[in-house]
Every structure is written in C-alpha cells, then in structure tokens.
C-alpha cells in the first residue's frame, strides 16, 4: 500500500514523499505546485529508495552493463524507512 507521507512546498515546486508500507521504502516525487491538483496516488506506483548504495562485494544488479545504472543493489534493497525528522531554524 502506497501513501503520501509528507508534502512540502518550495516556491513553485512541491516535494511529495511517498511511503510504500509493503516494502518500507520512502520515495520522492517533485512536481510544479501548479500541477499538484492533478497528482493521483491511485494507479501503478513503484517507489524506489531515496538512497542508492553500491558497496564493495555487492553483486551487480540485474541488467547492469558498462555505462548503465547500478541502482537497487543488494545493500540498497536492505535499506528501509524508519522516520523523518524536520528541523526549522530562523534565518
């Protein structure tokens, strides 16, 4: 089950954090604030980890070849979302 975890507005852009409760991953979607009302959580979403790590000794991800991505390594697949802390400071 995927849900909107948090939304933040930065000028004319909106950052939407998506939480996949099944995989325990937290993803990020950025979109213009003017299009926020068109954003729909229903449908086919595949939340990918915000953090991508490839540690020495990890096998290469499926489909890896020279010049292509090494995302979703074994180390990355073992990461999960625990909590988010927000600190606000006066300028």
Q: Residue 43 falls within a domain, yes or no?
A: no
Measured in degrees and rounded to the nearest 5, phi and psi for residue 38 equal: -90, -10
Q: Residue 18 falls within a domain, yes or no?
A: yes
SS3 at position 72? coil
- Identify whether residues 54 and 78 lie together within a single domain: yes
How does pLDDT run across 12-64, given as a tens digit for each residue? 999 999 999 998 888 899 999 999 999 988 887 788 888 888 788 877 666 65
In this structure, what token pair is assigned to residue 52? 């991508």
The range of the structural domain enclosing residue 67 comes to 48-82
Q: Residue 6 falls within a domain, yes or no?
A: yes
- Identify whether residues 3 and 25 lie together within a single domain: yes
In this structure, what token pair is assigned to residue 10? 């930065």
SS3 at position 77? helix
Q: Average pLDDT in the 2-21 region?
A: 94
Q: Which residue reads 């697949």 in tokens?
A: 77
Q: Residue 29 falls within a domain, yes or no?
A: yes
Q: Residue 78 falls within a domain, yes or no?
A: yes
Q: Residue 26 falls within a domain, yes or no?
A: yes
Q: Residue 13 falls within a domain, yes or no?
A: yes
Give the span between the Cα atoms of 50 and 16, in whole angstroms: 12
In this structure, what token pair is assigned to residue 18? 């998506």
Q: Residue 52 falls within a domain, yes or no?
A: yes
Number of domains present in the structure of the chain: 2
pTM: 0.72
């Amino acid at each position: 089950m995927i849900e909107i975890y948090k939304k933040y507005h930065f000028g004319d852009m909106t950052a939407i954090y998506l939480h996949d409760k099944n995989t325990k991953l937290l993803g990020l979607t950025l979109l213009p604030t003017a299009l926020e009302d068109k954003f729909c959580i229903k449908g086919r979403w595949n939340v990918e980890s915000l953090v991508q790590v490839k540690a020495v000794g990890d096998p290469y991800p499926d489909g890896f070849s020279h010049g292509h991505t090494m995302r979703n390594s074994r180390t990355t697949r073992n990461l999960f979302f625990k909590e988010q802390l927000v600190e606000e400071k006066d300028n």
